[in-house]
Amino acid sequence: MLRRSLSYGLALSLMFNGVSWSIASPTLAAKGQGTVKIAVSKLNVRTKPGLSHPVITQVKQEQRYTVEAIKDEWIQIKLDNGEKGWIADWLVEVEPTSFKTLKDLRTPLIDGLQVRTGPSADFRSIATINRGEKFTQVESNGDWTKIELPSGQTGWIANWLSNSATADDKDEDEIRAVAIATNPLLNIRAKPSSSSEIIGQLTQNESAEILARQGDWTQIQRDNLVGWVADWLLEEVDSAAQPENKDHAPFVKTLKSGTHIRSGPEEKHEIIHIASQAEVIPALAKEGDWFKVRLENGQTGYVAGWIVSAHGLPPVERKETNQSRHGTLQGKVILIDPGHGGSDAGAVGPHLGTLEKEINLKVSRLLGQKLEAAGATVRFTRSDDRKVSLEDRVYLANVQNIDAFISIHHNTIENEQINGIITYFYGNDKNRKLAHAIQSETVNSTGLTDLEARFGNFLILRENTRLAVLCELGFLTNFEEEVTVNTDTFQQQAAAGIVNGLLQYFANEEK
């Protein structure tokens, strides 16, 4: 069974239909340095690098395209009509002589980073280095990397205080990632853990510079304070992508796809525009809990202040006291059920040999991390590779005081062309509403085909007395989808979509 991680810059080879093809590493090329050949029958070309972005066209197997740019696990290509788009780098073959390897570099995240004689804080410091400087990586040891200094001397730096870089990276002053708090009050902690000491706070729409990431936590710097916050409660803004506006005119930025812009400042008014995620819209005024905005066609409209981030205008002060309305699941207990396990492998992907039990557990663990970051108490029917009967899973749900039961699975079917996501429910109206919320948010988050929320007469739902749904997060029998669900990017997106669905459901139920 294939397991891969492009974050380590590996190049893997796969066999499909008798053809060997390679996975491109994000550190292998820069603009104009090579070509790629499409390795699957049809491959989606998207507007931006990520599965959640719209598909603009499809390219076919054996076609070749010039590389324009590379970002993470995505390659920008130039189509025959001159249009540019992004394709997944794990579904193409890198032309072997096209790319030249760049030296792996490392750059500090802070000024005054200590360079030590060995891979531990116990070793003597021999130099300090600053942000923006780049150094060749020599080797790594756990959480430490050995670098070469300009003098030729080598030393060790902490990975959590530095980032990988390439020789053609833009200067830090040109691109600076910024985090904006989306919660009314966000704790800054000394370490990446909810049990760590609180050393400061961010208020809603207050920004801070991003330094590093670890799991579901982001290290930020605000003035001279450096600490960790739950990244689930942040909105990341790339300063290079901000609208050019020399007068600093106010604007709002949508937090989710499907945001409604209405003709008036109440929900009863007509919807005149549906905005996509991270859409920037000029703001004219704040009227109560609503912002008056101007659309690209010149038309004016209104957007609810509690579903956007405001820049240049005071944020909306929410009247609700329940924290679920503020984007958290504080006080909720969620039981996650990773399907199959132990001697019960579940489905097996016919192309890559993916074991469903393993990928179910991976997504479940990510889901648990994100739920905890959102304030929920998380429990599991299994937390390792063991077999748990359906009856025992239902028993665990029924005897515990939980708010929701989420069963994680991946699908199979004889027709290998079928692909997409399904969320199943059984029984009462609440189960149906939760299934529809999770289905909608997971499809939005992953970009996979919407096969809709459906009634499912499964024992694990039928005998469950709690709020319960079963999520089928893609088909292992579809080649492209089996490859996709094995990526960390997809697993993170799927987990985020489920959390978004839970947030939406509880927010609506507790109005």
What is the tens place of the pLDDT at every residue in 293-328? 888 777 889 998 877 777 777 776 544 333 333 356
User: How many whole angstroms separate alpha carbon 384 and alpha carbon 218?
Assistant: 27
Q: How far apart are CA 465 and CA 461, in angstroms?
A: 8
6-94 has CATH 2.30.30.40 classification: yes
Percentage of residues in the chain having pLDDT higher than 90: 26
Locate 73 and state its tokens: 């696990």
Spatial separation of the C-alpha atoms in residues 385 and 357, rounded to whole Å: 8
In angstroms, the CA 163 to CA 300 distance is 43
Tokens of 103: 């030296």
* Fold topology of 243-311: SH3 type barrels. (2.30.30)
Cβ neighbours around 383 below 10 Å, total: 14
Range in 14-18, 44-48, 61-65, 177-181 with the lowest mean pLDDT:
14-18
11-24: b (≥16 Cβ within 10 Å) or e: eeebebeeeebbbb
pTM of full prediction above 0.95: no
The predicted structure's pLDDT at residue 90? 78
Can you give the pLDDT at residue 6?
30
**Domain with residues 105-165, CATH architecture:** Roll (2.30)
Whether 264 and 320 have beta carbons less than 8 Å apart is answered as: no
Asked whether 274 and 211 are in contact (CB, 8 A), the reply is no
From CA 180, how far away is CA 397, in angstroms rounded?
37
Q: Where are the chain's structural domains?
A: 6-94, 105-165, 177-239, 243-311, 333-509
What is the per-residue pLDDT for 315? Answer: 74
Over 50: is that where the pLDDT of 493 sits? yes
Other CB atoms within a 10 A radius of the CB of residue 49 amount to: 20
- Using CA atoms, how far residue 495 sits from 201, 323, 500, in Å, is 26, 21, 9
CATH superfamily to which 177-239 belongs: SH3 Domains (2.30.30.40)
- In the predicted structure, residue 170 carries a pLDDT above the cut 80: no
DSSP per-residue string spanning 371-388: HHHTT-EEEES-SSS---
* CATH annotation of 333-509: 3.40.630.40
Domains 177-239 and 333-509 share a fold: no
Give the highest mean pLDDT range of 2-6, 65-69, 286-290: 286-290
Q: Are 398 and 466 in contact (CB under 8 A)?
A: yes
